A and B are shown apart, each in its own frame.
Chain A
Amino acid sequence: EAAVTQSPRNKVTVTGGNVTLSCRQTNSHNYMYWYRQDTGHGLRLIHYSYGAGNLQIGDVPDGYKATRTTQEDFFLLLELASPSQTSLYFCASSDWGGAEDTQYFGPGTRLLVL
C-alpha cells in the first residue's frame, strides 16, 4: 500500500514568518508533488519533482520554494508567509509521471497565516 505522510498536520504562523512543510513517501516513487486547495477551487499544483535534486515549476509557484533532498523527502518552503497562503496543502507521489499514472496523496497540512 502506497504511503505518503505529511508534517505538521496543522500550522499557525504570522505574516512574514518562515514555514517548512515536510512530505515523505515510502513508495519508491520518482515523482512528488505539492498542491494547495482553497475553498471553491480544485487542487492547484505548486511545484513538483522527478527525483532528488530536481525541481519543476507548477501552476501557482509564486511565494513558494521547494526542495527534494532524497527520493523520499520533498519540502515546501514559505520564506515570507502571507495571509493569501492560508490553505490546505497536499503532497503526492507517483511512480513514473505518465498521463495514466495514479497519484498517491498525503493527509494534508492545514496552514493558517495570521
Chain B
Amino acid sequence: GDSVTQTEGPVTVSESESLIINCTYSATSIAYPNLFWYVRYPGEGLQLLLKVITAGQKGSSRGFEATYNKETTSFHLQKASVQESDSAVYYCALGEATGGNNKLTFGQGTVLSVIP
C-alpha cells in the first residue's frame, strides 16, 4: 500500500532559524498522487497548510513552501525563518482517488518546537 515517511520528531529550532522537515512517499496505485502538508496547533484539529497536485510545482503558505519532486518522491517542507507561533505538529500526506473518495495516507507527524 501507499506510505509516507517524514522526519522523526521532536524537532527543536530557535526562532528566526531555518527549518526543513523531510517527507518521502511511496504510491503503489497511482504515478502522481496529490501531496499535502497539514498542521495541528495545540488544542486544535489538523488544518491544511499547503497542497500541490502537479509534479514539479511548488506550494507555499504562511512562509512555508514545499516542492513536489517526482524523481526523488519527496515533498519536503521548508521555512527560511521560523517563529514561535509555528510550534505545532506537521503531517505530510498523500492523496489519491479511490472509487471516488479522496483517500489520504498520512505520515506519523513531526513535532516542531520553536524556542524564542
A residues neighboring B (CB under 8 Å): 4, 31, 37, 40-45, 48, 50, 56, 90, 92, 94, 97-108
| Other-chain residue from A44, A99, A101, A108 in contact with B33 (beta carbon distance below 8 A) | A99
Extra contacts besides A98-B100, A103-B48, A105-B47 (13): CB < 8 Å: A40-B108, A42-B105, A90-B46, A92-B45, A97-B100, A99-B53, A100-B102, A103-B104, A104-B45, A105-B38, A105-B40, A106-B45, A107-B45
Residues B46-102 near A (CB distance < 8 A): 46-48, 51, 53, 91, 93, 95-97, 100-102
Q: A42-B91, A99-B33, A99-B95 are in contact. Are A94 and B102 (CB under 8 A)?
A: yes
Cβ A102 vs Cβ B48 within 8 A: yes
Q: A43-B91, A90-B45, A98-B97 are in contact. Are A103 and B108 (CB under 8 A)?
A: no
Cβ B102 vs Cβ A99 within 8 A: yes
CA distance A91 to B38 in the complex (A): 14
| Other-chain residue from B40, B51, B91, B103 in contact with A102 (beta carbon distance below 8 A) | B51
Chain A residue numbers with a CB within 8 Å of B103 are 45
Cβ A4 vs Cβ B101 within 8 A: no
Chain A residue numbers with a CB within 8 Å of B45 are 4, 90, 92, 104-108
29 A-B residue pairs with Cβ-Cβ distance under 8 Å, sorted by A, are A31-B101, A37-B109, A41-B108, A42-B107, A42-B108, A42-B109, A43-B46, A43-B104, A43-B106, A44-B106, A45-B104, A50-B100, A50-B101, A92-B46, A97-B100, A97-B101, A97-B102, A99-B33, A99-B97, A100-B51, A100-B102, A101-B102, A102-B51, A103-B102, A103-B104, A104-B47, A105-B46, A105-B47, A107-B44
CA distance A98 to B45 in the complex (A): 21
CA distance A56 to B101 in the complex (A): 10
Is B116 among interface residues, defined by CB-CB distance under 8 A? no
Q: Smallest CB-CB separation from A107: which chain B residue?
A: B45
B residues neighboring A (CB under 8 Å): 4, 33-34, 38, 40, 43-48, 51, 53, 91, 93, 95-97, 100-109
CA distance A4 to B44 in the complex (A): 11
CA distance A107 to B105 in the complex (A): 19
Cβ B95 vs Cβ A100 within 8 A: yes
